[in-house]
Structure 1
């Protein structure tokens, strides 16, 4: 019983230390990438939720809850969550893409980008990167909400500043035909 109590205390101490390390690491990455404070907070909460689930699993093992009981419990929970998320698969993929964007997306809020898409190319400044989408403000002032999962799948061109983006926009407009010409 004393060994079990010591393991529980050690597990709690380890959980506290790991969550603080993860939180401070995410804060440092957020500062280095000039990320919005709200975005850093959301990413921290998502990762801490995952760590809490692992902590609860380990705590159950240390307290002697049988593997069979844990397997039934977690398979039931995953079945319910899986059915709920299957209906909203795009939400899950956008949340996952949000984490990928936070840690490895080469562009930040304020950068001028062009998302190359065969239907419609989006040229503008990144206004915000949220949990589900990237908000881009076009040169015309229109706002485009682009899903995180899609922006990871498309080619993205980055411009140094607004004037370079405007130059590229003007070149594209001049290259497009003015309209159909009539044949004589």
Structure 2
């Protein structure tokens, strides 16, 4: 019994230390990459949720909950979550893509980019990167909301500045480009 209490206390202390390490690491990465604080907060919460699930699983094992009972509980939870997410598969893939974009996306808010898409030209400045989509403000001032999972699947061209982006636009001669777009 004393060993079990000691293991529970050790697990709790380890859990909180790991939460702090993860939080500080994500904040450091966010500062280094100049990511908006709200975005850092969302990624931190997602990773804390995953660590909490692992903590609860380990706590159940330490407290002696039988593997059969754990298997029934977690299979029930995964069945309910699986049915819910199957209907909204794109939501799960966008959240996963959001984490990948946070840690490995080479483009930042303010960059001029072109998403290579055969159907339509998506060229403009990245205005925001959120949990589910990237918001791009076009040269014409229109706003395009592009899903995270799709922007990872398409080639993206980065331009040095607005003038370089205008030069590569197929529509730049045909439309008026507002000057206020530089201030976004």
In structure 1, the partner of 2:107 is 107
CA contact (8 A) 2:166 2:172 kept: no
Question: In the alignment, what sits opposite 1:7?
Answer: 7
Q: Does 1:56 align with 2:39?
A: no
- 1:37 paired to 2:41: no
Which residue does the alignment assign to 1:83?
83
Deviation at 1:121, TM superposition (A): 2.0
RMSD of equivalent CA atoms:
1.3
Residues 19-168 of structure 1: pairs in structure 2 closer than 5 A: 19-168=19-168
Find the counterpart in structure 2 of residue 181 from structure 1: none
Q: What is the rounded CA distance, in whole Å, between the counterparts of 1:175 and 1:41 in structure 2?
A: 41
The CA deviation at 1:174 is 8.2
Give, in angstroms, the shift of residue 167 of structure 1: 1.4
Give the CA deviation at 1:173: 4.2
Distance in 2 between the 1:174 and 1:145 partners? 21
CA distance in 1, matches of 2:12, 2:173: 64
- The alignment covers a number of residue pairs equal to 174
Q: Report if the CA contact (8 A) 2:126-2:137 is conserved.
A: yes
State the match for 1:179 in structure 2: none
Moved over 6 A (4+): none
The alignment partner of 1:85 has SS state of helix
- TM-score, L = length of structure 2: 0.92
Which has the greater radius of gyration?
1
Unaligned segments of structure 1, at least 5 residues = 177-184
Listed one character per residue, the Cα deviations across residues 64-123 of structure 1 (whole Å, up to 9, x for unaligned) are 000000000000000000000000000000000000000000000000000000111200
Separation in 2 of the partners of 1:145 and 1:174?
A: 21
